[in-house]
Amino acid sequence: ETASLDDHEACLPKLPPFDYSPPPYAGPSVDEILAKRKNFLSPALFHFYKKPLNVVDGKMQYLFDENGKRYLDAFGGIATVCCGHCHPDVVESIVNQLKRIQHSTVLYFNHAIADFAEALASKMPGNLKVVFFTNSGTEANELAIMMARLYTGCNDIISLRNAYHGNAAGTMVATGQSNWKFNVVQTGIHHALNPDPYRGVFGSDGEKYAEDVQGLVDFGTSGHVAGFISEAIQGVGGIVELAPGYLPAVYKTIRKAGGLCIADEVQAGFGRTGSHFWGFQAQGVVPDIVTMAKGIGNGIPLGAVVTTPDVAEVLTGRSYFNTFGGNPVCTAAGLAVLKVIEKENLQSNAQSVGSYLKERLTALKDKYEIIGDVRGRGFMLGIELVSDRQLKTPAKAEILHVMDQMKEMGVLVGKGGYYGNVLRITPPLCFSKQDSDFFVDVMDYTMSKM
Ligand code: PLP
C-alpha cells in the first residue's frame, strides 16, 4: 500500500497549539511591498527567503503572515523581542505613557525616565549605576568608546576580530568583520585574535588568546590604551562564546595599560544567556562600562550606557545630549520589560529550556554531517553548518535551503557568522519546551530531506 498525502501530512511536525487568531489583513500584498522597497527603500536592505515573508501580526513567540499563517519566531527580531511580541504588559505600559506625554526634552524632569534608570541600575553589578540613554546599540557603543577615550586621554581601543558593534563611523571601525565595514578611515582600533573555541587557533584556551591583547598593547600602542570592547557571546559573528578565562585575563591587561573595559551586551543582556542577567557575568568580570539595546525595550528603539559615577564624570560640564535617547515612551517599555522578565521568570526559562534545546540540537549533530558545531548558552544558540567537518568548509548555499524549508514548515531562524553559515537561535525568552521540540523536529525533517 502507498501512503496517501494525508498520511504524509499527519507525520509532519505540528506547531504547538496557541490560542490567538490575528484580525484579517487588508493591506498590500508581498509583491506590492516588494515594489515599494525596490523604489523607495535602501537598496542595501536584504531578506533571507526565496519568497519574502510579510509579517503583519506578532503575539509572544509567534509571528503571523498576511494569510494568518503562524510561524514560530526563533530569531526574536534579531535577539530583540525578549518578553514576546506585543507582550500585553509592555503594550499597556507604552500606551499608558503615550496617553500622558509622548516626548519630553532632557531639559525637563519626567518620572518614567528616572524610574527606569533606577530599575536598570539595580540590575547592575559593582558600582555601575549611572545611566545614559540612547536610541540604539550603535549609539550606545559610540558613546562608550568616546567616554573611554575622554576618561583616559588615549585613543587606542582594542576590539575582537569577528565582533559586531554597530554601523556608524566609530563602531563600524570597532566591528571586526570586513562584510560589515565600509572603506571609511580606520584608525585607533586594534583587532585581537578571536577567542573562538571552534575556529580559533588556541581552541578553548582563553588565557592563551589573551596574550594577543598584551601583544597589541606592547607592539601596537604607546603602552597606554583607552579601552577594550567585546561581546560575551558574539551574535552577528555567529554565536561565538568567548573561550573560558579570556575576559578576566584581558581585563587585567587592559587595566594595567590604563584602559577601561567595555562590555557590549546589546544581544546577550537581559537574561538571554539564562545563567546570568548579563553575558559577561559568566566569566566573573565586572566591566567599567556596559552598553545595551535590543532586549531592553522588547523591540522599542532604546539603548543605554551604564557606567560608574567616576567614569560618568567625564561628561560633566560638557555639552552633550541625545534628543530621543530616554524618551519616556521607550523607558516605560523598558520598565515593563524588567518587570515581565522577573514576573515570568524569563531568565530561568532561558536557562532550562535553552539547555534542553541545546541538548536536542547536539543530538542531531550525530545524525547529520552538515552540523559542524552546536554552541551558545540559554536562548543564544548557534548551529554552524559545514560541507566538510574536517575542513570546516562553510555550507553557505545549504544554510539558505535549510532556512527556506524551515520557514515553509512554520519556523523562522536567523543566520550569521563571518561566512554566513551559522543558524542563529535567539527567540523571545518565553519560548517553551514544546516550541523547542517543534523547532528540532522541523530541522530534523528538513535535514533528512537534503
Ligand atoms: N552591538 C551588538 C553586539 C549588536 O549585535 C548590534 C546589532 O546587531 C549592535 C551593537 C548595534 O546595535 P543597533 O543595530 O541597535 O545599532
Residue 220, phi-psi category: left (phi > 0), alpha (psi -120 to 50), beta (remainder):
alpha
Residues 6 or more apart whose CB falls under 8 angstroms from that of 178 comprise none
Mean pLDDT of 133-141: 98
Cα of 259 vs centre of ligand 1, distance in Å, is 23
Does the pLDDT of residue 445 top 60, yes or no?
yes
Would you state the pLDDT for residue 6?
57
Cα(191)–Cα(170) distance, integer angstroms: 14
Would you state the pLDDT for residue 4?
53
Indicate the range of 45-54, 61-70, 107-116 predicted with least confidence.
Answer: 45-54
Pocket test for ligand 1, best of 231, 236, 302, 422 (most atoms within 8 A of CB): 236
Dump pLDDT digits (tens) for 7-21: 567 789 999 999 999
Strand 260-264 versus strand 240-241 pairing type: unpaired
**Following CA atoms 231, 233, 235, 239 in sequence, which dihedral angle do they give, to the nearest 10 degrees?**
150
pTM: 0.97
Dump pLDDT digits (tens) for 323-351: 999 999 999 999 999 999 999 999 999 99
Residue nearest (by alpha carbon) to ligand 1 atom 1 = 165
Strands in 315-406 per DSSP E: 371-377, 380-388, 393-394
Does the pLDDT of residue 125 top 70, yes or no?
yes
Identify the CA nearest to 29 among candidates 67, 77, 69.
67
Residue nearest (by alpha carbon) to ligand 1 atom 14 = 137
Cα(218)–Cα(206) distance, integer angstroms: 19
Residues 6 or more apart whose CB falls under 8 angstroms from that of 340 comprise 83, 87, 89, 90, 346
Cα(327)–Cα(116) distance, integer angstroms: 11
CB 56 within 8 A of CB 102: no
Tell which atom from ligand 1 comes closest to the C-alpha of 168: 16
Backbone phi and psi for residue 290, each to the nearest 5 degrees, phi listed first: -120, 130
How many angstroms separate the Cα of 283 from the Cα of each of 140, 226, 267? 22, 22, 16
**Dihedral sign for Cα atoms in the order 22, 23, 27, 29:** positive
Q: What is the largest CA-CA distance in the chain?
A: 83
The residue written with cell numbers 548579563 in the block is 278
Would you state the pLDDT for residue 2?
46
Residue 48: pLDDT band (50, 70, 90) is confident
Q: 130 or 41, which is more confident? A: 130
Cell numbers linked to 413? 531562524
Dump pLDDT digits (tens) for 161-186: 999 999 998 899 999 999 998 888 77
Cα of 139 vs centre of ligand 1, distance in Å, is 9
Mean pLDDT of 114-137: 97
Does the pLDDT of residue 43 top 50, yes or no?
yes
Cα of 398 vs centre of ligand 1, distance in Å, is 26
Cα(227)–Cα(141) distance, integer angstroms: 12
Cell numbers linked to 262? 567595555
How many angstroms separate the Cα of 407 from the Cα of each of 399, 410, 412? 12, 5, 5
Would you state the pLDDT for residue 8?
66
Indicate the range of 34-38, 181-185, 276-280 predicted with least confidence.
Answer: 181-185
Cα of 269 vs centre of ligand 1, distance in Å, is 12
Dump pLDDT digits (tens) for 359-403: 999 999 999 999 999 999 999 999 999 999 999 999 999 999 999
- Give residue ranges with CB within 6 A of ligand 1: 78, 136-138, 141, 164-166, 231, 235-236, 264, 266-267, 293
The residue written with cell numbers 487568531 in the block is 21
Dump pLDDT digits (tens) for 201-213: 999 999 999 999 9
Dump pLDDT digits (tens) for 68-81: 999 999 999 999 99
Considering just the CA atoms, what is the radius of gyration of the chain in Å?
22
Does the pLDDT of residue 3 top 50, yes or no?
no
Residue nearest (by alpha carbon) to ligand 1 atom 13 = 137
Cα(35)–Cα(15) distance, integer angstroms: 32
Dump pLDDT digits (tens) for 145-156: 999 999 999 999
Mean pLDDT of 244-257: 98
Average pLDDT value over all residues in the chain:
95
Cα of 137 vs centre of ligand 1, distance in Å, is 5
Cell numbers linked to 71? 510561524
Cα(401)–Cα(399) distance, integer angstroms: 5
Tell which atom from ligand 1 comes closest to the C-alpha of 293: 15
Cα of 267 vs centre of ligand 1, distance in Å, is 7
Mean pLDDT of 278-300: 98
Tell which atom from ligand 1 comes closest to the C-alpha of 235: 5
Strand 227-231 versus strand 393-394 pairing type: unpaired
Residue 112 CB-density burial (10 A; 0-12 exposed, 13-18 middle, 19+ buried): buried
